Each structure stands twice: as C-alpha cells, then as structure tokens.
C-alpha cells in the first residue's frame, strides 16, 4: 500500500483507458454535425445510422469517462491528504477550465452564432457579446461552456465526493465495502450495482431544467462514485474482471431492448420536454442497466488486455488533457467549412475526422511540451522518480 508522501504506483490499464476515452469523445464530437440532434455546427443532410451510433456512444461513453475519474480519485487519495487532493484538483481542473473558457469558448460562440445565422458581428463584436454576461444555470454556473462542462462537473464532483470517499476509507465505510464485496463474488452479481442507482436516476432525470442540468449531474456523479468504490477493493475489481462477457451481454441487451421499444423517439421528445411518465421509468431503467453493463465490460477489458498493462508513454499521458481541451474548437472550425460543401456525409467525414485529429494532436503535443504553458492546460508536473505499474 502506498503511504502518504511516497511516489504513487501507476495502474497502467487505467491510464490507457483514459486515453481511449478521450479519443472516444473526439470521435463522438466529429460525428455530431451529421446526426439528428441539435449541435453547434450541423450538416444539411443527417444520418439516422449516425444518430443511433451517437446514442450508443453517448449512452455509456461519458459515464465511463467519469467512472475512470472516480477511480483516479481513489488512487490520488492513497498518497495525498484531503487538502493535497483538493489542491491537486484545483491545479489540474480549475486552472485549465478558466484558461480554456477564456480562450476557447468565445471562438466557439462566434462559429456557432454565425453558422446558425444568429449573428453578423465581427469576431471581436461577438467576443464582446460573449463576455457581457457569463452567468449560467446551475449546476454549470457559466454560460456557453461547450465541451468544458465536463471539467465543471469534475471539479464539483471532487468537492462533493471527498467527504463520501473519506467516509468509505473509514471503519464504517470499510464495513459497507466488505459487505458488498462478499456478496458480489458470484458471476453476474456485480451487475446488480445498477439496482440502487435506478431510483436515484429516476428522481432527478425527469425534473425540468437546462441542458447539463441536475439530472445529468447526479447521473454522472453516481458513476464517478462507483469508480471510486470499485477501485477501493481488490475483490470488487476481481468481480468486474470476471464479468466482462456478462457485462457486455447486459449492456447490448438492454440497449437493443430500448431500440426495439422506441427509445430514440422517446429521447428526442424527452430532451425538449422532460417529464415523469411510465415510458420515462421504463427507458431510464434500461439506460442505467445498459450503461453499467457496458462500464463493467469496458473496465474488465482494460484489466484483461495485455497491451494495456504496460506504462503509458509519457508524451501521450501529458498530451491527453490538452487534446481534450482543444479538440472541439478545432472540430468546429473545420466542420464550419466542411458542412458547406456539396458532397456526401462520408466524403465530408473522411476530411473532417483526420484533419481534426492531426491538428488537435499536434497542438496538444505542443501545449504539453511547452514549459509554463503546459500547466495552464492541466498537464501534471513530472514526478521526481519513475512511477511503477501495478
């Protein structure tokens, strides 16, 4: 066990899964101009197949991202004090959030307003408009955060989760973890963790509110806390590892049941007018079980895959956060021009995806490798001694 003040051990598969999750978010955003949903830049022609793919990725991908962050919180608290944990989160989350919001949200606002035909101002005119009123609805608190809502959530999750995590590490919390771990050793039992999450999600998701409101906040916080819980006990990790196939079957099964029973039409209307109903109970119960099934399968895959056990190359690890921060503005800039072409969706995507990836990766590497600048984009300071992989 790592003690306070010691160099922490690395868990190689978590680092790799984090990078894969960032790439998944990138792919998700490159597809958004072509699905049926509302987004900042949209193509005239839309694809139902892409819409289903977006629903599939969005269903569990972001929850997976937050679960990995919760697992990372457990690792951080193994060797940091509570104050040290919060200080590290301020440097890794709050600082890049402020920098990215000031530098990258105004250009995204300018692109969206002009693409949607809501503005004919110059760039500096729209920047002035953007900064004229920054107040937003809770729990984001800021207006027009774009993809940075993820950092706003994570920052609040760290603050809200810390008392829960400290309790779980105490004697009463350990008794609860022991009780759960003893009962979830049978094949498939770990999937029942979705059961207590269902009523929590049903209470909050149907409440009216803005995009990225309290329902979504609670939904993702639950999986953030679950990541901490699972990582805190080797028996729970072993249960996840054993249930890769049952988790995948459960995730696909519940997702397909949702598709067959009309979840796409339901969600299209629901996001415009959230409300409690019997279909709401049915679909969001399916969503919770499907998401947890996919998360178990994905985490088990990471634990099992030999290629993911080796240390993550340092340049890749350092560039992950800058890549996340810069990727969406770059996608919007390129998509703004690409969607105006007289070409098929496939032809446009073949240009958009690689161009955005290469540009984002190059800029992320430059930011992560530049002394002084790297810290502004969430790059962790180099440790004095090499980390080890557990």
Rounded CA-CA distance 114/121 in Å is 8
Contacts of residue 378, Cβ cutoff 8 Å, sequence gap at least 6:
92, 93, 95, 96, 321, 322, 325
DSSP state of 210: -
Rounded CA-CA distance 209/21 in Å is 27
Q: Is the distance from CB of 161 to CB of 224 less than 8 angstroms?
A: yes
Alpha-helical runs (H) found in the chain: 12-31, 48-79, 82-89, 95-115, 123-132, 149-169, 171-183, 194-205, 214-231, 234-242, 244-260, 263-270, 278-304, 314-338, 345-369, 373-376
**Share of residues in the chain with pLDDT > 90 (%):** 78
Per the listing, tokens 């990725």 go with 57
pLDDT (0 to 100) of residue 11:
82
Supply the Cα-derived Rg of the chain in whole angstroms.
21
For residue range 129-175, list pLDDT tens digits in order. 999 999 999 899 999 999 999 999 999 999 999 999 999 888 988 99
Q: What is the mean pLDDT of the chain?
A: 91
What is the average per-residue pLDDT within 106-119? 96
Q: Which of 232, 102, 86, 271 is nearest to 160 (CA)?
A: 86
**Share of residues in the chain with pLDDT > 70 (%):** 95
What's this model's pTM, rounded to 2 decimal places?
0.91
DSSP state of 311: P
Q: Which of 251, 256, 260 is nearest to 188 (CA)?
A: 251
For residue range 179-235, list pLDDT tens digits in order. 988 888 888 899 999 999 999 999 998 877 777 889 999 999 999 999 999 999 999
What confidence tier does 385 reach under pLDDT thresholds 50, 70, 90?
A: very low
Tokens of 302: 């990471």
For residue range 254-267, list pLDDT tens digits in order. 999 999 999 988 98
DSSP 122-149: -HHHHHHHHHH--B--TTT-BS--GGGH
DSSP state of 70: H
For residue range 24-72, list pLDDT tens digits in order. 999 999 999 999 989 999 999 999 999 988 888 887 899 999 999 999 9
């Amino acid at each position: 066990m790592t003690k306070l003040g010691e160099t922490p051990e690395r868990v190689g598969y978590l680092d790799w899964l984090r990078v894969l999750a960032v790439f998944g978010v990138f792919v998700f955003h490159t597809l958004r101009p072509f699905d049926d949903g509302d987004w900042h830049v949209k193509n005239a022609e839309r694809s139902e197949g892409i819409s289903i793919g977006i629903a599939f990725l969005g269903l569990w991908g972001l929850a997976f991202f937050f679960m990995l962050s919760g697992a990372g919180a457990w690792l951080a608290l193994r060797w940091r004090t509570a104050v040290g944990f919060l200080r590290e989160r301020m440097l890794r989350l709050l600082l890049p959030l402020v920098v990215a919001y000031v530098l990258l949200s105004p250009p995204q606002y300018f692109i969206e307003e002009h693409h949607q035909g809501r503005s004919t101002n110059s760039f500096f005119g729209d920047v002035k408009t953007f900064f004229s009123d920054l107040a937003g609805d809770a729990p984001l608190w800021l207006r027009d955060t774009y993809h940075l809502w993820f950092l706003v959530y994570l920052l609040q999750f760290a603050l809200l989760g810390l008392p829960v995590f400290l309790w779980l590490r105490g004697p009463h919390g350990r008794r609860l973890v022991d009780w759960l771990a003893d009962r979830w050793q049978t094949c498939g039992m770990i999937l029942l963790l979705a059961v207590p999450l269902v009523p929590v999600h049903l209470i909050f998701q149907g409440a009216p509110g803005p995009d990225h409101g309290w329902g979504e906040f609670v939904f993702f916080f639950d999986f953030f806390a679950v990541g901490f819980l699972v990582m805190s006990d080797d028996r729970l990790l072993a249960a996840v590892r054993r249930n890769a196939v049952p988790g995948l079957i459960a995730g696909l099964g519940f997702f397909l049941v949702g598709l067959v029973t009309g979840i796409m039409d339901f969600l299209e209307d629901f996001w415009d007018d959230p409300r409690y109903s019997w279909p709401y109970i049915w679909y969001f119960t399916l969503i919770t079980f499907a998401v947890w099934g996919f998360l178990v399968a994905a985490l088990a895959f990471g634990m099992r895959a030999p290629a993911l056990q080796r240390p993550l190359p340092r340049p890749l690890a350092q560039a992950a956060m800058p890549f996340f921060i810069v990727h969406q503005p770059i996608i919007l800039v390129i998509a703004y021009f690409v969607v105006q072409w007289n070409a098929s969706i496939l032809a446009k995507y073949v240009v958009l995806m690689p161009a955005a990836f290469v540009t984002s990766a190059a800029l992320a590497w430059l930011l992560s490798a530049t002394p002084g600048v790297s810290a502004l984009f969430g790059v962790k300071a180099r440790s004095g001694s090499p980390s080890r992989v557990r």
